[in-house]
Amino acid sequence: MESRGSDLSSDVSLSAFGLVLTDPGGSGIPDPARYLRTIRVHTALQVLADRPFRSDDGEAVNVFLTNPLSLDVNLPVTVILTGDIAPDAPYGVFQVGLMDTDSFVIRDANTNHPVPVLGEPASIAGNPIRIEHDAERVEVSGAPEFPAVLSVGRRSVPALTAVFRHPSTEGTARIRVESLTVRCRDQESRPLAPGLVLNRVTVLREGQPVGEVVDPPTDGGSVPVPLNDFFLEPGESAELHVEVDIAAAAPATWLELMVGAPDIDAVDANREAPVPADPAPGASLPLFSGLTRLEPPARELAVSLRSLMPPVLVPGAEETPVGVLTLANADPEGSGLIRIMHLTVRADDGTGTPVAIGRAAARIVAYRDGEPWATSAALTPDSTTAEIHFPETLYLEAATSTDLEIRLVGRDDTDLPRLRLGWTADGVGVVQPAGALFEVLVRPEAGRTFPLWTDSGTFSAASLAGSWSNFPNPFAAGREDTRFVYYLPREGTVTLRIYTPRGDEVLTLVDGAGRAPGLHQSDRWTGRNGRGSVVRNGVYIAEFEVVYGDGTRERLLRKVAVVR
């Protein structure tokens, strides 16, 4: 309010004004006392009136000020109206507004003459006031989200989902959930000090944090998490997601989180009265995260390579084995899993000069347990590397390993004289633990360095004479095998014998076995004779004979050196 005039004008005094209560449609409420018990009028400095509402007030309520308000010239004063809601007020919406200018009693402080009121007070009203039923309960359901195993140091791990529902209808007070208490338990449901296993507990709604506790207590068995502005309107449902950071120094133990009915602090948003938490239909309380085993994180993946690259490669040959890649989780039992999703294969010309692998290979195939398991996409001559994406994640438990046999599908038009394949540390596609403090180190086997390379193979014409060879040569009889390589231009029957230089037969390795066209390198000699004894050091003769379907024959000899 403000008294306006010149500096010579008198002050004025307000002693009464009128109020009216209206419904949402703007109609007057005939019995305001049903809604309001008292009305107070005050400024920042003094109380002007404090009067009860009476049933005989009618639609219009005249408020007479016990302490009339003096208004100095040109000095505005803010007048505040507050009221108490009647205990048995009907549920619904009403609004308090000023009456027209006739209801204002304002007089000149000197002459006591009435002073007119300018403007339209009847257009001034307070905000709508909604009288609501008390909130009776909040319904809760949820689901566990902990995996069976968790590595120490993992961050932002989903623990559990809690679904809150306000089951009442419109006209009921909102519910405010003020906090959740998250309890930590071991496998026998004994309290576990939160700070021993957790670095952080976060509660999220729609991906945004609404509560967080960093450095949980190191005693007791629970973490109270205050929530910010988490309200539920009548009929509304909302999901909260509890996430945790596993402490880097957490011991190897079992962990389960739980939230029970007493751990949910909810209140009626109007009266601040507690609202109990009940399980939603079909659900039960407490909510659980599921039991997880905390284990030390995996730290090392050891990679080793055994070369199968034949000394002779035939352009266009189907699936020539070139090496066995062994992947081993080098951590002790009880440590975490290692996950691997792909391999990247590179190539050089045998002298250290990188070459595009697509110049020699149409595809690279990985076999596991003797079966085709993964393959690269089709390669083009300008493909610098080959990416072998696994059909599923390869999981390696601690202290376990797996072998992948790598095979090369040759290109018919290769222009490379020699080839070898290799792997670097970043060519082994380890999936690093999300949000973990530690990364898995990919290292080569002891005594080796990255890149790991196969032996070199030399491309030759697609002929028997050009491909006939063995590797390794020399070889350590009794401790390793030597593998014979040959290319058959067409189907035939083969025989392979080993002789001494004097012509004495040592062993028949293959005796009249049928072979399909193509490159073969599966025939091996262990360095033992027909009686099973390891032969002496020296040079031996390998005789290879093939009889083709048309009756023609080819016979080839090769020196094989034995060292022990």
**pLDDT higher than 60, residue 162:** yes
Query: How many Å apart are CA 520 and CA 507, to the nearest integer?
Result: 20
Confidence of residue 297 (pLDDT cuts 50, 70, 90): confident
**pLDDT higher than 70, residue 435:** no
Work out the number of other CB atoms within 10 angstroms of the CB of residue 210.
20
pLDDT digits (tens, 9 = 90+) for 78-94: 999 999 989 888 888 89
Start-to-end CA distance of the chain, whole Å, equals 112
- Buried b / exposed e over 348-384, threshold 16 CB at 10 Å, is bbbeeeebbbbbbbbbbbbbeeeeebbbbeebeeebe
Least confident range of 52-56, 203-207, 304-308, 526-530: 52-56
**pLDDT higher than 70, residue 102:** yes
One-letter amino acid identity for 507?
A: L
Residue 499 token pair: 């002789």
Confidence of residue 249 (pLDDT cuts 50, 70, 90): confident
User: So what's the pLDDT on residue 397?
Assistant: 87
Confidence of residue 298 (pLDDT cuts 50, 70, 90): confident
Please give the average per-residue pLDDT across 192-221, as a whole number.
96
Judge whether 125 and 95 are in contact, CB under 8 Å.
yes
Query: How many Å apart are CA 48 and CA 41, to the nearest integer?
Result: 5
Residues in the chain: 564
User: So what's the pLDDT on residue 535?
Assistant: 96
Query: How many Å apart are CA 491 and CA 548, to the nearest integer?
Result: 6
Tokens 């030399």 -> residue:
458
Query: How many Å apart are CA 75 and CA 250, to the nearest integer?
Result: 67
User: So what's the pLDDT on residue 434?
Assistant: 61
User: So what's the pLDDT on residue 374?
Assistant: 97
One-letter amino acid identity for 371?
A: E
Please give the average per-residue pLDDT across 306-324, as a whole number.
89
Residue 214 token pair: 């960093």
Least confident range of 174-188, 233-247, 291-305: 291-305
Query: How many Å apart are CA 171 and CA 183, to the nearest integer?
Result: 35
User: So what's the pLDDT on residue 498?
Assistant: 97
Confidence of residue 196 (pLDDT cuts 50, 70, 90): very high
Judge whether 21 and 32 are in contact, CB under 8 Å.
yes
Please give the average per-residue pLDDT across 508-525, as a whole number.
92
Please give the average per-residue pLDDT across 456-463, as a whole number.
84
User: So what's the pLDDT on residue 154?
Assistant: 85
User: So what's the pLDDT on residue 504?
Assistant: 95
Please give the average per-residue pLDDT across 399-406, as a whole number.
96
Query: How many Å apart are CA 289 and CA 159, to the nearest integer?
Result: 5
Q: What sign for the dihedral angle of Cα 89, 94, 100, 105?
A: positive
